[in-house]
Structure 1
Amino acid sequence: MSKQTVIVSGGALEEEFTLNILNSEDTEFVIGVDRGLGFLYDHKIEPDYIVGDFDSAPAEIVQYYRENTDVPIRTFNPVKDASDTEIAMRLCLGLRRQRIVLLGATGNRMDHAWANVQILKIALDAGAEAVIMDPWNKIRLINGNTVLKKDEAYGKYFSVFPLGQTVVDFSIKGAKYPLNHHTLTPWDSLCVSNEFAADEVEISFPIGDVILMETRDQQRKKN
């Protein structure tokens, strides 16, 4: 299996979680995106590419990389037709990266988070695997039969939502709340927070794109 590319975007970045992924032996290529570049700079991690319009990255950090490193920097006008993270995703695909992890793709700005979920479709159509991750969520798109294993699950819960269109003949087996030949619509919350009832959950549908979220609750800190 090929090693992964990590896109570090400008949303929420939990330090320990992010560093564990960036320093993993499975990571071989890193792209710093606008404000996400600050995290890399603070932790002395040199990316392989830098992209953005740099409207939110500190100017002195961008200047540092321009003057002191050979990292390729692609600068874009803030008035553009794609987000910085989408530009980074398309760069990954142009470089034929097949496994892509998006960090800093969630956070306080729900509009940015939703745009990043939609960006996963670009990778899916290109035949690449892309996933959004933070300490509590793992988000990806599936377009066919998928098996989830309980001992490999990211969290206790999983949820499914159609991306864009109604998905017919949708089934879930091995779950606490199974479905059989269901019509999955984009305007209800039926498929939120399902759980494992067996060691494996099978998700099947003949056509369409489905958002799969594996989630876990945030642990409260003890006083």
Structure 2
Amino acid sequence: MATCALVGASEFNAERFCELADAGAFDYVIAVDGGLASLEEAGRRADMAIGDFDSLGYIPKGLRVARFSPEKDKSDMELAFDRACTLRYDEVIVFGGLGGRLDHTLANLNLFAAFSERGLYVTAVGLDQAVTFITGPDVYELPAAQEGTVSVFAMNDACTGVFERGMRYGLDDARLTNRTSLGLSNELQGEAVVIGVEEGTLAIFLPV
């Protein structure tokens, strides 16, 4: 699987990024506008920078750049996802796409779900929490962990055939909607976890 990392301007777990980068987890790294400054602060380089660069405040040099007008119908993050698709990556891991302005975070969560529905494997990593997306029919497996909280939410009007196994509270062939808190704060208990959905897209929030 070919993996592209997208790095936005919000705070993220730089230690986790460096661990994955050092392990060779990323085939390509795209800095999304102000995310370039975050990468440089972490002592890392991008393969490409994309955006209108209003957050960064200057046009980067010394790497591949895709510059767009600030007056556009897509966010810089969406443009970066488009580029990852054009480059035919199978998986996108986003850093700096959670936190910060609530409207930006909501827009990003909707984007992540939309690109999951287009066939990408999408995960976003924040400071102490990550969120991964699955579109049915699909399952997500989490190795055994002693503690932590997992929340599962529908990103559609309805997700059907939802199940959760290996946590304190189980679900079996459930229907989740995006108008309920059902799915919030399940508990890991030292067992391997399997979460699945038959139809629809789930956002699965996990400890980093």
Pairwise TM-score range, normalised by the shorter structure: 0.7 to 0.9
CA distance in 1, matches of 2:196, 2:19: 33
CA distance in 1, matches of 2:171, 2:43: 48
Match of 1:149 among 102, 127, 142: 142
User: CA offset at residue 140 of structure 1?
Assistant: 1.5
User: CA offset at residue 78 of structure 1?
Assistant: 1.1
Q: Which residue of 1 aligns with 2:5?
A: 6
Tell me, yes or no, if the aligned pair for 2:39 and 2:45 is still in contact at 8 Å.
yes
Q: Which residue of 1 aligns with 2:48?
A: 49
Q: 1:145 to 1:11 in 2, by over 3 A?
A: same
Tell me, yes or no, if the aligned pair for 1:8 and 1:104 is still in contact at 8 Å.
yes
Q: Which residue of 2 aligns with 1:199?
A: 191
2:79 counterpart SS class: helix
CA distance in 1, matches of 2:87, 2:128: 29
Q: Which moved more, 1:155-164 or 1:18-27?
A: 18-27
User: CA offset at residue 27 of structure 1?
Assistant: 2.0
- From the CA coordinates, give the structure whose radius of gyration is larger: 1
Q: After the TM superposition, list the runs of 4 or more consecutive aligned residues in structure 1 that deviate by more than 4 angstroms.
A: none
CA distance in 2, matches of 1:172, 1:8: 30
TM-score by length of 1: 0.82
TM-score by length of 2: 0.87
Residues 148-199 of structure 1 deviation map (CA, whole Å, 9 limit, x = unaligned): 3343x59612111111211234332332111233221212212111123562
Q: Which residue of 1 aligns with 2:123?
A: 131
User: CA offset at residue 15 of structure 1?
Assistant: 3.6
CA-based RMSD of the aligned residues comes to: 2.3
Q: 1:155 to 1:120 in 2, by over 3 A?
A: farther
CA distance in 1, matches of 2:94, 2:147: 18
* Mapping of residues 107-122 of structure 1, within 5 Å: 107-122=99-114
Q: 1:174 to 1:46 in 2, by over 3 A?
A: closer
Unaligned runs of at least 5 residues, structure 1: 217-223
Q: 1:17 to 1:134 in 2, by over 3 A?
A: same
2:27 counterpart SS class: strand
CA distance in 1, matches of 2:86, 2:31: 16
Q: 1:125 to 1:181 in 2, by over 3 A?
A: closer
Q: Which residue of 2 aligns with 1:183?
A: 175
% identical equivalent positions: 25
Q: 1:169 to 1:19 in 2, by over 3 A?
A: closer
User: CA offset at residue 147 of structure 1?
Assistant: 4.3
Is residue 151 of structure 2 the alignment partner of residue 159 of structure 1? yes
Q: 1:110 to 1:77 in 2, by over 3 A?
A: same
CA distance in 2, matches of 1:113, 1:8: 14
Tell me, yes or no, if the aligned pair for 2:11 and 2:127 is still in contact at 8 Å.
no
CA distance in 1, matches of 2:127, 2:98: 10
CA distance in 1, matches of 2:146, 2:67: 35
CA distance in 1, matches of 2:44, 2:114: 27
Tell me, yes or no, if the aligned pair for 2:7 and 2:29 is still in contact at 8 Å.
yes
Unaligned runs of at least 5 residues, structure 2: none
